[in-house]
Amino acid sequence: MALYEHVFLARQDVSAQQVDALVEQYKGVIEAHGGKIGRVENWGLKSLTYRIKKNRKAHYALMDIDAPAAAIQEMERQMRINEDVLRYMTIAVEAHEEGPSAMMQKRDRDDRPRRDGDDRGPRRDFGDRGPRRDFGDRPPRGDRPPREDRA
């Protein structure tokens, strides 16, 4: 049996319980065809980059699957029929990741580099730029001769 990662997007107006029911439904399809479901992650309701079937948001769910190709094909066939599923993608992988996926890893504010600290990188030094030009080469505004169109 092959290893797969499967992500699907459900409509924004379905509840979290209905998304869990969809996961259970597709889990049953995989297990009926001799496969196994490993990790299941519900990423929650997220904004879409562009509208899909008049939806601006979608519930995301990830499943790690160990199943034959026929089980994947049947699950994808049922997802095409289901109106609550906006998009899905199944990818064959060499091995499943251990631990939480990149979407579930919490990025703390403390991990980010500080804007006012030294973590930002080297500061630009303008010391070799020379003296600042004080615009002494042109007369002050009041001493200029009038323009021809104003005279």
pLDDT of residue 107: 60
- The helix-helix angle for 69-81 and 16-32 (nearest 10°) equals 140
Predicted confidence (pLDDT) per residue in 62-99, tens digit: 999 999 999 999 999 999 999 999 999 999 998 888 87
Check whether 119 has a pLDDT greater than 80: no
Instruction: Give the count of domains, the chain.
Output: 1
Q: Is 19 exposed, middle or buried (0-12, 13-18, 19+ CB in 10 A)?
A: buried
Residue 139: phi, psi to the nearest 5?
A: -70, 155
Let me know if residue 56 belongs to a domain: yes
Check whether 125 has a pLDDT greater than 90: no
Let me know if residue 73 belongs to a domain: yes
DSSP state of 82: -
Q: What is the CATH number of the domain that holds 85?
A: 3.30.70.60
